[in-house]
């Protein structure tokens, strides 16, 4: 038996040879399609002219993105980690001059919406506080069908052409050999790609800024990213950029704070959104548009079709046209938030595309992705995806079909069903594409108007406040310090010289490098009769030096609504001090929690029992926006002896938040780093006092509304 068994056992050499048939080694090889056809341009989609629309016949792009769309199941390939909410949109003024879209012309209608916020790079189980782009997608259930505005919290993107999207995501995702790191761009493959793709430099400035670590989904902007078209009843077109402006302003957390929150509460943003809606503090965002007449398409020093560019608000002001309110949490996370299917190609009459080559690729990718993720071409029949209007067409069957269609015809034209359903052939009744003239040769290239890769990166950096510039610098130092390959670090430092030389030199010094001249990657795609130099990366100086709208220092700072405030207390606290401040804060819309050494009740100095919300064992300063220590000698003495209370205040100070103490509560502050290292020049945001509770609460509320006192960071390091 042993001899017969041996005949069926393959030796090690045979096994290795068979395994090698399925092992790919790309070293020294030409790039090919999955069918072995060599590719001579992996940078650009096939287009009708260098600024024209992408062509369906581009089998290379379709193969590449199809494979990418189906790489992972069941979670989304990107934007896997998300949170959602129901709400409605109200229009401030009719926009009929620019668009025939019904929901943008009737101020009496509340259009239902569902919004999904998300991180991009991480898996469903990753932290909310990763340094990342945030998705900001809105599905409008209009009377003319569903319209999806599928955007991000940043107005630009890393790449100019959808051909590169799989490469970008492959680079930022965990590295394929070890599946490390999760939800992080601080690794070799991401920065290797970025250092070889200089068109990404503007987006890198956004990603390294505080925009990448928002305080809340309720406190971040949203953008449509691409340039779209509005089309009115007379077929007149205007280019349009979409903006969502949060009513509470745009605010962030500190990077050290973000890392701490990831450990303390990785669901921080999800929990914040859920609790705000449950408590009736409904998130609000105003919708704004930038409108450009067709005749002005080429008047800027950048190309409107380039998704790595924004339109400075100083050049084209944002017109606020309506407001979105989120007022209902999902009933079931999976059925709604997880199964909702967005697509930038879900349009209504009056809104249309442009030839942005990144947008053109997305129009193919999103439906293809839903087929894989939701398993059926009938994903539009899932309740959260259904329009509020009736659906009539001849599409039938397929996996998980819900509709039971009657009758014998499933084709058009027909006579057996009286020709139904009919085409909406009357002018302005159904969707018609904008009649844009196209007269061009098929070509794999980009317009030379897309070659400015650094001008707006510099504009963004120059627009930041000094603390924001420091945060960008520190983010780059952190990220590039994680990169193990010296050549990648050097390439990135060299590219940074094209943004700002001081920035480049500061980052370089922390890495033990010297900034040098960048070696620009060769652009192999340009018309045969053109000068190659015209198509190489360059820097075009912006027509404005700085844009106030690009700095969060200029955002709304007039409200403490929904801010989370910690009150630290122990037995012997002065009841009136605690209660009066709590009432003053809650009257302004803040959310207050009392934190003490133990759960249950504490006794005030007058003997009254006060309920405790959390203990120092589970409470963390990083999930609060400010801290108050009420009066009471016995309470203050107990807090001074509580190491977690001292750490709580030190950490609050380190992260530049408002701190307030009443009466003997100031003794607790004196026991912290703040009191042991007095410096009157940097104590802004630390408020103490007694005998005037009205002024104390007023000053504290004003300080909280400022969000942060970032100047503390440059003066000293708090060992919290």
Structure tokens at 579: 């209660």
The DSSP bridge pattern shows strands 591-596 and 564-568 to be parallel
How far apart are the C-alpha atoms of 66 and 367, rounded to whole Å?
Answer: 10
**Three-class SS state of 598:** coil
Q: 178-222: per-residue pLDDT in tens?
A: 999 999 999 999 999 999 999 999 999 999 999 999 999 999 999
Could you tell me the pLDDT band of residue 532, with boundaries at 50, 70 and 90?
Answer: confident
Q: With beta carbons less than 8 A apart as the criterion, state whether 348 and 147 touch.
A: yes
How much is the pLDDT for 7?
Answer: 42
How much is the pLDDT for 14?
Answer: 56
Q: How far is CA 537 from the centre of its chain?
A: 27
Show Cβ contacts of residue 172 under 8 Å, excluding neighbours closer than 6 positions: 120, 121, 185, 189, 190, 193
Q: With beta carbons less than 8 A apart as the criterion, state whether 518 and 494 touch.
A: yes
How far apart are the C-alpha atoms of 152 and 158, rounded to whole Å?
Answer: 12
How much is the pLDDT for 13?
Answer: 53
pTM to 2 decimals? 0.89
Residue 486, classified by CB atoms within 10 Å of its CB into exposed (0-12), middle (13-18) or buried (19+), is: exposed
28-48 residues labelled b (16+ CB within 10 A) or e (exposed): eeeeeeeeeeeeeeebbbbbb
How far apart are the C-alpha atoms of 572 and 632, rounded to whole Å?
Answer: 6
* Of the listed ranges 112-126, 127-141, 528-542, 658-672, the one predicted with least confidence: 528-542
* Of the listed ranges 36-45, 223-232, 297-306, 326-335, the one predicted with least confidence: 36-45
Residue 642, classified by CB atoms within 10 Å of its CB into exposed (0-12), middle (13-18) or buried (19+), is: middle
CA distances from 417 to 286, 408, 410, 422 (A): 46, 8, 9, 10
Could you tell me the pLDDT band of residue 521, with boundaries at 50, 70 and 90?
Answer: confident
Return the percentage of the chain with pLDDT > 70, whole number: 92
**For residues 599-615, average pLDDT:** 96
How far apart are the C-alpha atoms of 169 and 147, rounded to whole Å?
Answer: 26
How far apart are the C-alpha atoms of 460 and 662, rounded to whole Å?
Answer: 42
How much is the pLDDT for 72?
Answer: 61
Residue 22 pLDDT more than 90?
A: no
How far apart are the C-alpha atoms of 380 and 126, rounded to whole Å?
Answer: 28
C-alpha closest to that of 321 among 212, 391, 403, 244: 244
How much is the pLDDT for 371?
Answer: 87
Residue 432 pLDDT more than 80?
A: yes
Show Cβ contacts of residue 314 under 8 Å, excluding neighbours closer than 6 positions: 544, 547, 548, 549
How far apart are the C-alpha atoms of 384 and 557, rounded to whole Å?
Answer: 36
**For residues 233-252, average pLDDT:** 97
Q: With beta carbons less than 8 A apart as the criterion, state whether 240 and 291 touch.
A: yes
Could you tell me the pLDDT band of residue 524, with boundaries at 50, 70 and 90?
Answer: low
Q: Which of the residues 44, 105, 152, 355 is marked catalytic? A: 152
Residue 62, classified by CB atoms within 10 Å of its CB into exposed (0-12), middle (13-18) or buried (19+), is: middle
How far apart are the C-alpha atoms of 48 and 57, rounded to whole Å?
Answer: 11
C-alpha closest to that of 150 among 306, 310, 319, 366: 366
Q: With beta carbons less than 8 A apart as the criterion, state whether 205 and 460 touch.
A: yes
Q: With beta carbons less than 8 A apart as the criterion, state whether 168 and 160 touch.
A: no
Show Cβ contacts of residue 345 under 8 Å, excluding neighbours closer than 6 positions: 362, 363, 366, 367
Q: With beta carbons less than 8 A apart as the criterion, state whether 81 and 327 touch.
A: no
Residue 18 pLDDT more than 60?
A: no
C-alpha closest to that of 341 among 306, 379, 315: 379
Can 26 be counted among the known catalytic residues?
Answer: no
* Of the listed ranges 202-211, 459-468, 616-625, 708-717, the one predicted with least confidence: 708-717
What backbone phi and psi angles, to 5 degrees, belong to 218? -80, -10
What is the DSSP secondary-structure string of 407-458?
A: SS--SSS-STTTTPSPP--STTTS-----------EEE---GGG-B-SHHHH
How far apart are the C-alpha atoms of 121 and 175, rounded to whole Å?
Answer: 12
How far apart are the C-alpha atoms of 88 and 110, rounded to whole Å?
Answer: 6
DSSP state of 276: H
How much is the pLDDT for 3?
Answer: 40
Structure tokens at 18: 């068979």
Residue 4 pLDDT more than 50?
A: no
How far apart are the C-alpha atoms of 515 and 506, rounded to whole Å?
Answer: 9
The better pLDDT of the pair 191, 529 is held by: 191
How far apart are the C-alpha atoms of 227 and 711, rounded to whole Å?
Answer: 37
Structure tokens at 150: 């599928």
What backbone phi and psi angles, to 5 degrees, belong to 602? -115, 155
Could you tell me the pLDDT band of residue 12, with boundaries at 50, 70 and 90?
Answer: low
Residue with tokens 């104390």, as numbered in its chain: 696
CA distances from 245 to 103, 325, 546 (A): 19, 12, 20
Structure tokens at 516: 């040098």
Residue 15 pLDDT more than 70?
A: no
How much is the pLDDT for 19?
Answer: 44
**Dihedral over alpha carbons 391, 396, 397, 398 (to 10 degrees):** -80
Specify which residues 84 forms β-bridges with: 116
Mean pLDDT, all residues of the chain: 90
Q: For residue 73, is it left (φ>0), alpha (ψ between -120 and 50) or beta?
A: beta
Q: 363-412: per-residue pLDDT in tens?
A: 999 988 888 888 888 888 899 999 988 888 888 888 888 888 888 888 88
How much is the pLDDT for 5?
Answer: 40
Could you tell me the pLDDT band of residue 9, with boundaries at 50, 70 and 90?
Answer: very low
Q: How far is CA 637 from the centre of its chain?
A: 45
Can 298 be counted among the known catalytic residues?
Answer: no
- CA 53, 59, 64, 67 dihedral sign is positive
Structure tokens at 403: 């509709």
Q: 436-455: per-residue pLDDT in tens?
A: 888 888 888 899 999 999 99
Tally of residues, the chain:
720
Q: Which of the residues 79, 86, 238, 471 is marked catalytic? A: 79
Return the percentage of the chain with pLDDT > 90, whole number: 71
How much is the pLDDT for 716?
Answer: 61
Q: 470-505: per-residue pLDDT in tens?
A: 999 999 999 999 999 999 999 999 999 999 999 999
């Amino acid at each position: 038996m042993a001899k017969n068994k041996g005949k069926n056992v393959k030796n090690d050499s045979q096994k290795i040879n068979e395994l090698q048939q399925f092992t790919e080694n790309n070293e020294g090889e030409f790039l090919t399609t999955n069918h072995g056809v060599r590719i001579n341009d992996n940078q650009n989609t096939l287009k009708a002219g260098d600024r024209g629309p992408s062509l369906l016949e581009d089998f290379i792009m379709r193969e590449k993105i199809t494979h990418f769309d189906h790489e992972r199941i069941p979670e989304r390939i990107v934007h896997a980690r998300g949170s959602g909410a129901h709400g409605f949109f109200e229009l401030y003024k009719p926009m009929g001059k620019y668009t025939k879209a019904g929901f943008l012309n009737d101020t009496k209608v509340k259009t239902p919406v569902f919004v999904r916020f998300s991180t991009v790079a991480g898996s469903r189980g990753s932290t909310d506080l990763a340094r990342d782009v945030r998705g900001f997608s809105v599905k409008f259930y209009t009377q003319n069908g569903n319209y999806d505005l599928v955007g991000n919290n940043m107005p630009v993107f890393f790449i100019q052409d959808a051909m590169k999207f799989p490469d970008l995501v492959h680079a930022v995702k965990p590295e394929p050999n070890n599946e490390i790191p999760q939800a992080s761009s601080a690794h070799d493959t991401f920065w290797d790609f970025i250092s070889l793709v200089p068109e990404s430099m503007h987006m890198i400035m956004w990603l390294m800024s505080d925009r990448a670590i928002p305080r809340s989904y309720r406190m971040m902007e949203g953008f449509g990213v691409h340039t779209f078209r509005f089309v009115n009843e007379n077929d007149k077109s205007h280019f349009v950029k979409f903006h969502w402006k949060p009513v509470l302003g745009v605010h962030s957390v500190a990077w050290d704070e973000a890392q701490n929150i990831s450990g303390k509460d990785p669901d921080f943003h999800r929990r914040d959104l859920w609790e705000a809606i449950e408590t009736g503090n409904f998130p609000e965002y105003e919708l704004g548009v930038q409108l450009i007449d067709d005749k002005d398409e080429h008047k800027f020093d950048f190309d409107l079709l380039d998704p790595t560019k924004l339109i400075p608000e100083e050049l084209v002001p944002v017109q606020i046209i309506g407001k979105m309110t989120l007022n209902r949490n999902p009933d079931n996370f999976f059925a709604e938030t997880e199964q909702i299917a967005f697509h930038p190609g879900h349009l209504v009459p009056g809104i249309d595309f442009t030839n942005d080559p990144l947008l053109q690729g997305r129009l193919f990718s999103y439906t293809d992705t839903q087929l894989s993720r939701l398993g059926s071409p009938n994903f539009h029949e899932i309740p959260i995806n259904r329009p509020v209007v009736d659906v009539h067409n001849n599409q039938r069957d397929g996996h998980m079909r819900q509709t039971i269609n009657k009758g014998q015809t499933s084709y058009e034209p027909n006579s057996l069903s009286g020709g139904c359903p009919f085409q909406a052939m009357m002018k302005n009744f159904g969707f018609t594409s904008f009649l844009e003239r196209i007269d061009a040769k098929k070509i794999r290239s980009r317009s030379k108007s897309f070659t400015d890769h650094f001008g707006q990166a510099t504009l963004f950096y120059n627009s930041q406040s000094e603390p924001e510039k420091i945060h960008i610098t520190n983010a780059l130092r952190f990220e590039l310090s994680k990169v193990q390959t010296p050549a990648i670090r050097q390439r990135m430092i060299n590219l940074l010289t094209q943004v700002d030389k001081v920035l480049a030199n500061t980052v370089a010094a922390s890495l033990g490098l010297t900034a040098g001249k960048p070696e620009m990657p060769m652009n192999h795609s340009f018309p045969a009769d053109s000068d190659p130099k015209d198509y190489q990366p360059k820097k075009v100086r912006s027509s404005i030096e700085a844009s106030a709208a690009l700095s969060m220092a200029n955002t709304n700072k007039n409200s403490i609504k929904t801010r989370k405030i910690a009150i630290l207390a122990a037995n012997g606290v002065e009841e009136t001090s605690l209660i009066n401040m709590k009432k003053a804060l809650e009257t302004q819309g803040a959310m207050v929690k009392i934190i003490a050494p133990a759960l249950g009740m504490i006794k005030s100095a007058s003997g009254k029992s006060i309920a405790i919300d959390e203990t120092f064992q589970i409470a963390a300063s990083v999930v609060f926006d400010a801290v108050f220590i009420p009066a009471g000698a016995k309470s203050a003495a107990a807090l001074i002896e509580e190491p977690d209370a001292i750490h709580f205040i030190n950490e609050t100070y380190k992260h530049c938040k408002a701190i307030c103490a009443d009466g003997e509560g100031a003794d607790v502050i004196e026991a912290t780093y703040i009191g042991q290292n007095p410096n009157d020049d940097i104590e802004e945001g630390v408020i103490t006092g007694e005998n005037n509770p009205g002024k104390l609460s007023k000053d504290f509320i004003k300080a909280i509304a400022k969000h942060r006192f970032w100047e503390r960071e440059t003066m000293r390091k708090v060992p919290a």
